């Protein structure tokens, strides 16, 4: 008798499913079982699929994928439907995948299953009913819990708390690899120290986890007898735990086996296809969670290490100043960024003199490893140039040539994003600790800000040049200002200003309000306030209400001169130079006066002061060949606050009062000052002159800063 006749006699048909072509071949009995004429036939996958209950088809698809991954049999029960959608019979499928590269053929049998008689218990159908709903709910909960775990310890805690529907494990262990050795990443359900024999075990050992890591295929041991039969050498290691069944499932990420997961049971488990499917799905989620946690921990360690290297080498030990700094890397991936700051003790100090220091803050273009590498090299170069004693303009000129030379090798490089030339913004300040004089050179970076003793905050406009690395011969003019005792200087990268959807202007207004609202002289508290207000919690890997705002690195550095005499009233003062080639800075001068008088109660006096400043500075640029030096100071006295503004230039020619006609385009500056100022005058001063005016605010009218 032929084999086909025997199979037909027991209602068993043969089928072959070619995954590559999507063609399913059926013999006569298999065709009959599917409700087709009893003759051999070749059908498309869609035609065969239409014969199965849609829920069962989805189930068998998962079972087949599991069998392909593990190299085991695919078993399932399937309901056959007629053209009207009615169930006509139930068949049992047992198939073996024959793998050919990335494709496979599924070869197996279809056998009719007798329907249970009324009043009797039917056969177990694992693909329907409450068990499947429980399984799906469990997998959803497990996936969500593992996705939220942020560290390896959290992932292991979640894995230990998983309660699988109907067959929860009593113990588990997660194995990893270190070279050719097996390691124990974590375990649960065993005593501390029980992992000793399994730690640093050779992958060549006859142990289930080692074989799983070597082959990438799961091993299911439903009984102690099966364990002893297959792994007699290492059975004594497992026997003492008094378990009845074991599942060793590979942890696979991106096609690479990174370890193995052991689930051990005190009761015997048959490891049906559905149970294996649950274990395999959990193992995949566990592997992905461990991989994510490993990347996150590496990123945190790299970021923390980078943050530690960013801390200034000089700090509270410098007499006469206080310093605070923060560096917060961006979030998301390995975006370590190129922001940095530094403090450098400059040569030339003498015994008994506090000497000079340099403050540097900068931002290399990009948020990747190369940006961080360039940042480190540029920081070293800047420190070297500063230590040689060069002035701020020379330090930045040399740094720009240095970065330009490094970019030279990348010119025209089209190997992909992140490989082209980079530039960097930078702010370099040289501070005389004895006099408070600050010389500033700026390369495309945000301007510094000064918080005065009474809380008034001014953005100090400075002359600047191109970002470093763009032009090898770029010049960087120097701006000088004076930091009085008790005042605080703030320099930062654009991440502090632009985080949270702000531009530079609106971001500055936000930071200005924070600086003005701060009380006390604790710079560490002020630095934390600035970072947390725009970024979220101080720790870059802690979740919080603003954690989603990690768009750019943040670096901020604060320096404050200690008050010379506690309690002594310190005037507000601003100083800036307006060069002949920069007439646009007249608008900055007007804005400086407005910021200085932010709480001046008389709006007419404020407008008058701004108008007179504009006239004085414009006259210098129009009638002389030199630059204008603007100095403005607000001081408190017994009769109220007094504003004094001086504009100096290098010309010896004194201005004189004129009587312009109605149509004259000039000659009204001194007339305006005579009308608007409480006092004014012109004073010769060595090589040049100074024109000044004063406005007095009546006593009792002072604002909060008076």
List CB contacts of 212: < 8 A, sequence separation 6 or more.
218, 219, 248, 249, 250, 257, 260
pLDDT score, position 640: 75
Retrieve residue 348's tokens.
Answer: 């030339």
pLDDT of residue 444: 93
Q: What is the pLDDT of residues 159-190, one digit of tens each?
A: 777 767 666 788 888 898 888 888 888 888 77
Task: Return the percentage of the chain with pLDDT > 90, whole number.
Answer: 19
* Per-residue confidence (pLDDT) for residue 557, from 0 to 100: 93
Q: What is the pLDDT of residue 353?
A: 59
Contact 570/453 with Cβ under 8 angstroms? Answer: yes
297-349 per-position pLDDT tens digit: 777 777 666 656 655 555 556 777 888 888 877 654 444 567 888 888 888 65
pLDDT of res. 121: 39
Asked whether residue 94 carries a pLDDT value surpassing 90, the answer given is no
Tell me the per-residue pLDDT of 668-705, one tens digit each, with 9 for 90 and over. Answer: 677 888 888 999 988 887 778 889 999 998 766 555 44
Q: What is the mean pLDDT of the chain?
A: 80
pLDDT for the residue 588? 87
> CA-CA distance, 328 to 535, in Å (whole number)?
9
- What's the average model confidence in pLDDT over 501-521? 87
Confidence of residue 645 (pLDDT cuts 50, 70, 90): very high
Place of tokens 């201005």: 655
Categorize the per-residue pLDDT at 581 as very low, low, confident or very high, splitting at 50, 70 and 90.
Answer: confident
Mean per-residue pLDDT, 147-168: 76
Give the pLDDT of residue 668: 64
In angstroms, the CA 555 to CA 561 distance is: 21
Interacting residues of 64 by C-beta distance below 8 A, sequence separation 6+: 74, 95, 97, 106
Owner of token pair 């002020």 = 526
Eight-class DSSP state of 638 = T
Lowest-confidence range among 301-305, 368-372, 407-411, 468-472? 407-411
Query: Which of 361, 380, 482 is CA-nearest to residue 431?
Result: 482
State how far the Cα of 365 lies from the Cα of 417, in Å rounded to an integer.
12
Q: Give residues with Cβ within 8 angstroms of 17, minimum separation 6.
A: 24, 25, 45, 48, 95, 105, 106, 107
Instruction: Compare 97 and 384 and report the one with higher pLDDT.
Output: 384
At residue 524, does pLDDT exceed 80?
A: yes
Token duo for residue 216: 């990438």
In this predicted structure, what is the pLDDT of residue 392?
A: 94
pLDDT at 131: 54
What is residue 507's predicted lDDT score, i.e. its pLDDT? 87
Cα 492 from Cα 328, distance rounded (Å): 12
pLDDT value at residue 120: 38
- The pLDDT, as a whole number, for residue 664 is 44
Name the β-bridge partners of 569: none
Question: In the structure, what pLDDT confidence band is assigned to residue 552 with cuts at 50, 70 and 90?
Answer: confident
- Per-residue pLDDT of 200-214, as tens digits, reads 788 888 899 999 999
Report d(CA 374, CA 82) in Å as an integer. Answer: 69
Give per-residue pLDDT as tens, 208-238: 999 999 999 999 999 999 999 999 988 988 8
Secondary structure, 3-state, 247-305: EEEEEEECCEEEEEEEEEECCCCCCCHHHHHHHHHHHHHHHHHHHHHHHHHHHHHHHHH
Q: Residue 551: which pLDDT band, with cuts at 50, 70 and 90? A: low
Highest mean pLDDT among 239-243, 246-250, 539-543: 246-250
Query: Residue 316 has what pLDDT?
Result: 52
């Amino acid at each position: 008798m032929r084999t086909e006749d025997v199979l037909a006699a027991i209602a068993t048909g043969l089928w072959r499913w070619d995954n590559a072509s999507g063609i399913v071949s059926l013999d006569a009995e298999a065709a009959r079982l599917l409700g087709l004429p009893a003759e051999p036939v070749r059908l498309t996958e869609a035609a065969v699929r239409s014969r199965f209950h849609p829920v069962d088809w989805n189930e068998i698809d998962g079972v087949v994928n599991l069998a392909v991954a593990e190299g085991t049999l695919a078993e399932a029960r399937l309901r056959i439907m007629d053209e009207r959608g009615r169930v006509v019979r139930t068949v049992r499928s047992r198939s073996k995948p024959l793998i050919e590269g990335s494709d496979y053929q599924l070869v197996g049998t279809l056998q009719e299953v007798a329907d249970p008689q009324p009043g009797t218990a039917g056969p177990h159908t694992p693909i329907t009913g409450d068990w499947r709903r429980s399984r799906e709910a469990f997998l959803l909960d497990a996936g969500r819990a593992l996705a939220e775990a942020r560290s390896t310890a959290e992932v292991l805690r979640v894995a230990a708390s998983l309660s699988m529907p109907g067959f929860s494990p009593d113990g588990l262990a997660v194995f990893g690899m270190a070279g050719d050795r097996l390691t124990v990443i974590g375990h649960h359900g065993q005593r501390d120290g029980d992992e000793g024999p399994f730690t640093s075990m050779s992958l060549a050992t006859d142990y289930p986890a080692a074989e799983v890591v070597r082959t990438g295929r799961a091993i299911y041991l439903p009984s102690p007898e099966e364990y002893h039969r297959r792994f007699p050498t290492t059975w004594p290691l497992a026997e003492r735990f008094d378990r009845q069944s074991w599942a060793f499932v590979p942890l696979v990420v991106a096609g690479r086996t990174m370890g193995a997961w052991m689930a051990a049971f005190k009761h015997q488990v048959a490891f049906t296809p559905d149970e294996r499917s649950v274990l395999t799905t959990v193992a995949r989620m566990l592997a992905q969670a461990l991989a994510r946690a490993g990347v996150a921990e590496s990123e945190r360690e790299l970021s923390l290490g980078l943050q530690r290297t960013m801390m200034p080498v000089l700090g509270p030990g410098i007499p006469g100043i206080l310093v605070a700094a923060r560096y917060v890397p961006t979030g998301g991936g390995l975006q370590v960024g190129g922001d940095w700051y530094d403090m450098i003790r400059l040569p030339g100090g003498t015994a008994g003199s506090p000497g000079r220091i340099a403050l540097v803050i900068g931002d290399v273009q990009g948020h990747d490893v190369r940006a961080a590498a360039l940042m480190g090299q540029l920081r070293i170069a800047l420190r070297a140039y500063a230590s040689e004693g060069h002035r701020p303009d020379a330090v930045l000129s040399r740094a720009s040539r240095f970065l330009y030379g490094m970019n030279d090798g990348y010119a025209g490089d089209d190997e992909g994003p992140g490989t082209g030339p980079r530039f960097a913004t930078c702010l370099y300040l040289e501070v005389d600790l004895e006099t408070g004089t600050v010389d500033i050179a700026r390369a495309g970076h945000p301007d510094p800000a000064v918080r005065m003793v009474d809380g008034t905050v001014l953005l100090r406009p400075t002359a600047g040049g191109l970002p470093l690395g763009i032009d090898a011969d770029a010049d960087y003019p120097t701006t000088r200002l004076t930091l009085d005792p008790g005042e605080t200087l703030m320099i930062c990268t654009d991440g502090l200003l632009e985080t949270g959807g702000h531009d530079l202007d609106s971001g500055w207004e936000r930071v200005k309000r924070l600086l003005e609202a701060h009380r006390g002289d604790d710079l560490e508290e002020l630095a934390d306030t600035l970072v947390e207000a725009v970024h979220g919690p101080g720790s870059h890997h802690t979740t919080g209400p603003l954690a989603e705002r990690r768009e750019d690195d943040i670096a901020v550095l604060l320096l404050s001169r200690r008050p010379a005499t506690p309690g002594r009233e310190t005037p507000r003062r601003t100083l800036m130079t307006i060069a002949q080639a920069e007439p646009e800075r007249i608008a900055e001068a007007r804005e400086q006066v407005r910021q200085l008088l932010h709480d001046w109660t008389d709006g007419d006096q404020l407008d008058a002061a701004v108008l007179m400043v504009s006239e004085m500075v414009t006259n210098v640029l129009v009638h002389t060949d030199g630059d204008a030096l603007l100095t403005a100071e607000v001081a408190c006295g017994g009769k109220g606050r007094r504003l004094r503004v001086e504009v100096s230039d290098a010309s010896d020619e004194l201005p004189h009062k004129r009587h312009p006609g109605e149509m004259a385009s000039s000659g009204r500056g001194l007339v305006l000052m005579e009308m608007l100022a409480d006092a004014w005058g012109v004073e010769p001063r060595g090589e040049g002159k100074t024109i000044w005016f004063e406005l007095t605010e009546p006593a009792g009218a002072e604002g909060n800063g008076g």
